[in-house]
């Protein structure tokens, strides 16, 4: 799949993985059988590029200490990063929420793990790989869609990522509104929160509280959420027609906590596909199996 930056002994021992975000840093320790042993989350120190890197190393050290291991016992380190990455060169190229622009993350990790395999990829790709493996897929086509503060997707075909020239899956830029509004501007968490605050006349209410109102039948929030359902239905409908995948997984912070919305999206797609060759294909749409741990499992299994 990815190039291995540093290859050590063939014998596997333990695996350290990380899912690096602008708000939190999730790390985990797996054994040689890719079973999760321990994980932890800490706030991301994004004050400087080195501060964030040392935050990562410190978290790895604490995981190892708890299991009475040293860095010498680690055979692989695998990292998922937001934004644009250069997998071949081991570089974090660009992110809008962490200070690692053109940061040689793999080269820096080799300093601490000279005998381990060092791997990195985009965080959405890592989560997609976690979901792909959770289903026992090997040759299937699967699309993983993540919706939280932004929206993106990753497509895997025959066990390989569909990368294009590097930006494949950036569906947030898709135009969905008559005035040129993008998908991300219409369905991502900040956009929904902004719209909800305006319509509810409450500038302080948060998305979590909005969703509670929605499930209580609040008509304003029903209107707000209908925007998500309509936009996502159209996006997923296009994916089904273009790729005819075996599975579409809806994950990320929003979908992981809102399974009812997934079912409502499927109901709308079901009606759209009636009396077409794609009738019944809404059943390929599934919720995430690994949820928030998808990226960690994906990194361990790379």
The number of beta carbons lying within 10 Å of the beta carbon of residue 84 is 15
Q: What are phi and psi of 151, to 5 degrees?
A: -140, 140
State if pTM tops 0.85.
Answer: yes
Q: Quick check: 120 and 100 in contact, CB under 8 A? A: no
pLDDT score recorded for residue 184: 96
What whole-number percentage of the chain has pLDDT above 90?
Answer: 95
Q: How many CA atoms lie within 13 A of 107 on its CB side?
A: 9
Buried residues in 44-68 as b, exposed as e (16+ CB within 10 A): bbbeebeebbebbbebbeebbeeee
pLDDT band at 64 (very low <50, low <70, confident <90, very high): very high
Looking at CATH, the fold of the domain delimited by 12-114 is given as Nucleotidyltransferase; domain 5 (3.30.420)
Q: What is the pLDDT of residues 5-25, one digit of tens each?
A: 544 443 348 999 999 999 999
pLDDT given for residue 166 in this prediction: 87
pLDDT mean across residues, the chain = 95
The fold of 127-291 is: Nucleotidyltransferase; domain 5 (3.30.420)
State residue 137's pLDDT score. Answer: 98
The pair of three-digit structure tokens given for residue 201, joined into one six-digit string: 């006349």
| Predicted local distance difference test score (pLDDT) of residue 3 | 53
Q: What is the pLDDT of residue 208?
A: 95
Give me the pLDDT at residue 13, please. Answer: 86
pLDDT tens digits along 197-231: 999 999 999 999 999 999 999 999 999 999 999 99
Q: What are the pLDDT digits (tens) for 251-292? A: 999 999 999 999 999 999 999 999 999 999 999 999 999 999
Over residues 20-61, the pLDDT tens digits come to 999 999 999 999 999 999 999 999 999 999 999 999 999 999
Q: How far apart are CA 273 and CA 281, in angstroms?
A: 8
Domain with CATH 3.30.420.40 in the chain: 12-114, 127-291
């Amino acid at each position: 799949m990815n190039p291995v930056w540093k290859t050590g002994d063939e014998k596997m021992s333990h695996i350290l993985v990380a899912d690096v975000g602008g708000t939190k840093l999730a790390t985990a320790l797996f054994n040689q059988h890719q079973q999760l042993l321990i994980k932890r989350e800490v706030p991301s120190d994004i004050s400087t590029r080195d501060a964030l890197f040392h935050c990562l190393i410190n978290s790895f050290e604490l995981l190892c200490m708890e299991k009475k291991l040293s860095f010498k016992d680690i055979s692989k380190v695998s990292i998922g990063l937001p934004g644009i990455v250069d997998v071949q060169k081991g570089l974090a190229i660009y992110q809008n929420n962490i200070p690692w622009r053109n940061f040689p993350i793999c080269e820096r990790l080799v300093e601490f793990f000279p005998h381990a395999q060092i791997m990195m990829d985009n965080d959405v790709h890592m989560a997609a790989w976690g979901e792909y493996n959770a289903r026992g897929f090997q040759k299937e086509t699967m699309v993983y869609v993540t919706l939280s503060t932004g929206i993106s997707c990753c497509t895997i075909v025959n066990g390989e990522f569909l990368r294009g020239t590097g930006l494949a899956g950036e569906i947030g830029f898709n135009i969905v509104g008559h005035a040129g509004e993008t998908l991300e501007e219409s369905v991502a968490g900040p956009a929904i929160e902004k719209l909800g605050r305006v319509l509810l006349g409450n500038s302080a209410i948060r998305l979590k509280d909005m969703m509670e109102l929605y499930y209580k039948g609040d008509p304003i929030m029903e209107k707000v959420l209908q925007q998500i359902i309509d936009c996502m239905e159209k996006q997923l409908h296009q994916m089904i027609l273009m790729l005819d995948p075996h599975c579409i997984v809806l994950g990320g912070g929003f979908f992981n906590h809102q399974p009812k919305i997934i079912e409502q999206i499927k109901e709308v797609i079901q009606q759209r596909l009636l009396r077409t060759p794609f009738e019944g294909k809404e059943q390929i749409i599934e919720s995430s199996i690994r949820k928030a741990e998808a990226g960690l499992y994906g990194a361990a299994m790379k």
